[in-house]
Amino acid sequence: MEHFIGILFQIAAFFLCLQARCLPIEDASIGFIRTNVTCLKDSKFYAPTNVKVECIPAAMDCVMRELKGTVRPECDGLMTYVLQAIEFFELKTEEKDPAPTTSAECTCEKWPQTGFSDFLDQVESLLQLEKSAQPCKASP
């Protein structure tokens, strides 16, 4: 019986860890994208800047859409890293509220369009903000 209770506890702990989705920022592959992907000089990307905490889910969704809709067709290099970043942001978006806020100040088009390097800088800033706004709890 004690063995059975121990197994139940391990299963419950496993599922709690799965739901937390505490993904390290490095999994977004931004550093690899920076060094292995190049874009045309006139390519522009909506870069979430000075994001308010309540706009984080919408900003994450915006980054994911920019990676899918602008980076993939307009840039060259190792797209594997871009695909990894898209998957990272898909997982991050899933863990947030099902519907990002529809506030006018949180829309993707509200943020400035920047070049690729500035876009990546803002993505890293957004990830730091998200981490500080919702820090991951250490696993037992």
So where are the chain's domains?
24-133
State pTM to two decimals. Answer: 0.76
The 10s digit of each residue's pLDDT in 34-77 is 999 999 989 999 999 999 999 999 999 999 999 999 998 899 99
User: What's the DSSP call for residue 99?
Assistant: S
What's the one-letter identity of residue 33?
I
Phi, psi (rounded to 5 degrees) for 139: -80, 150
Residue 102 confidence class, pLDDT cut points 50, 70, 90: low
Phi, psi (rounded to 5 degrees) for 12: -65, -45
How many other CB atoms are found less than 10 A from the CB of residue 79?
Answer: 15
Q: What's the pLDDT score for residue 68?
A: 93
Q: What's the pLDDT score for residue 28?
A: 84
| Count of residues in the chain | 140
Residue 100 confidence class, pLDDT cut points 50, 70, 90: low
Q: Any idea what the Cα angle at residue 94 is, between residues 67 and 29, rounded to 5°? A: 40
Query: What is the average per-residue pLDDT within 99-117?
Result: 84
Give 24-133's CATH code, choosing from 2.40.50.140, 3.50.50.60, 1.10.760.10, 1.20.1250.70: 1.20.1250.70
